Amino acid sequence: MEWPGLYNYWIAIFLMVTGLYLVMAPQNLVKKIVGLNVFQASVFVLYITMGKVTGGTAPIIAEGIEVYSNPLPHVLILTAIVVGVATTAVGLALVVRINESFGTIEEDEIRELEEAQEDAS
């Protein structure tokens, strides 16, 4: 196996690390959600990659084709995408509510407000 070998995996790893970085580094809550999405996308790529069979085609029964890719990871990832969308929706909804009640979506500012509230109570 010569370099870059199964380069899909390198992409998955790159996306994974990028996503995790984006979750942690920015103060902006929306950017964090974006990071979360990138991170999840990396997993989707990983799954799809492992379903690929060399020389295989899309798993739709057609005449004259013997080798198919494994359809199961595709199905799984469809589910995972749905879960991901739902998570994003809930996350963004929360950000909207946070913006309504704190007046900001920057985490450092929110933390200050939180601390102020803690001291007050």
Partner 1 sequence: MISTHLPALQIILPLLAAPLCVILRNGTLTYWFAVVVAWLAFAVSALLLQEVNAIGVIAYKLGGWAPPWGIEYRIDLLNAYVLLIVSAIGALTVSYAKPSVDQEIGGDRGYLFYTAFLLCLAGLLGVTITGDAFNIFVFLEISSLSSYALIAMGRDRRALIASYRYLVFGTIGATFFLIGVGLLYQMTGTLNIADLGERVAAVGPNRTITVAFGFMAVGLAVKAALFPVHAWLPNAYAYAPSVATIFLAATATKVSIYVLIRTYFTIFHHDFSFGVMALGDIFMVFAVLAMLAGSAIAIFQTDIKRMLAYSSVAQIGYMVLGVSMATVLGLTGGMLHLFNHALIKGALFMAMGCVFYRTGSVSIESMRGLAARMPWTMAAFVAGGMSLIGVPLTVGFVSKWYLLLAAMEQNLWWILVFLIIASLMAIIYVWRVVEAAYFMPSSAGAPTDIQEAPMAMLVPMWVMVLANFYFGIDTKLSVGVATRAAKFLLGDAS
Contact positions vs partner 1 (CB under 8 A): 20, 23, 29, 32, 36, 39-40, 43, 46-47, 50, 72-73, 76, 79-80, 83, 86-87, 90-91, 94-95, 97-98, 101-102, 110, 114, 117, 121
Instruction: Measure the CA–CA gap between 53 and 66, rounded to whole angstroms.
Output: 11
Work out how close the CB of 119 gets to partner 1 at its nearest, in angstroms, rounded to a whole number: 11
* Smaller CB separation from partner 1, 8 or 64: 8
Instruction: Measure the CA–CA gap between 92 and 21, rounded to whole angstroms.
Output: 19
Instruction: Measure the CA–CA gap between 34 and 24, rounded to whole angstroms.
Output: 11
Instruction: For 5-48, give the DSSP string.
Output: SSHHHHHHHHHHHHHHHHHHS-SBHHHHHHHHHHHHHHHHHHHH
* Smaller CB separation from partner 1, 69 or 87: 87
Work out how close the CB of 64 gets to partner 1 at its nearest, in angstroms, rounded to a whole number: 25
* Smaller CB separation from partner 1, 3 or 121: 121
* Smaller CB separation from partner 1, 11 or 23: 23
Q: Quickly list H helices, 25-106.
A: 29-51, 71-102
